[in-house]
Amino acid sequence: MSGLWHGASWNFVLWGIFHGVFLILDRLFLMRYLDGILRPMSVLFTFVLVLLSWVIFRIEAFPDALEFYSRLFAFEKGDGFECKSGFWLAMMIAVGISFSTITRFGQSIEANLLKVTQNPRNLSLRLLVSFAVFFICLAEIATSNFNPFIYFRF
């Protein structure tokens, strides 16, 4: 259902099935298995799984997704691609935040943020932070010269 909610295209249906299968596997045995291994490995597994699922979400034709996966795991010398420094900064921030809860320091920050955000008296703080993040994202999109909004395809 979540795939169909995102759009009436087969790639969204496949994306929803992909996530649904892993939710079922998670409930059946995967969560117990991942809890039994080192936390960095379980976080890395989840991170890579989610990144791979976005290929299905973004690429419109399934054969193109298969081609993307085959090139991704070919490990051959090729033309490559060039990324601007802003991309690498954003990637480092995303990876840093994604893996921050591996450490005790990151876990304490997460726990404290949850305490602050779940307190009903902090509603104004939550709204202020949400609007600040929203406007920062909006400013980034407005000043960027390439912003293909995926939902304009429908």
pTM check: above 0.75: no
Residue 16 pLDDT: 86
CA 153 to chain CA centroid, Å, is: 21
Q: Which residue has the higher pLDDT, 75 or 19?
A: 19
Overall average pLDDT of the 84-88 stretch: 78
Instruction: For 97-116, write each residue's pLDDT tens digit.
Output: 878 888 888 888 888 877 77
- Alpha helices for 7-143 (secondary structure H): 10-25, 31-36, 39-58, 62-72, 85-99, 104-118, 123-143
Q: Which residue has the higher pLDDT, 102 or 4?
A: 102
Instruction: For 111-124, write each residue's pLDDT tens digit.
Output: 887 777 777 777 78
Sketch the domain layout of the chain as residue ranges: 1-80, 84-149
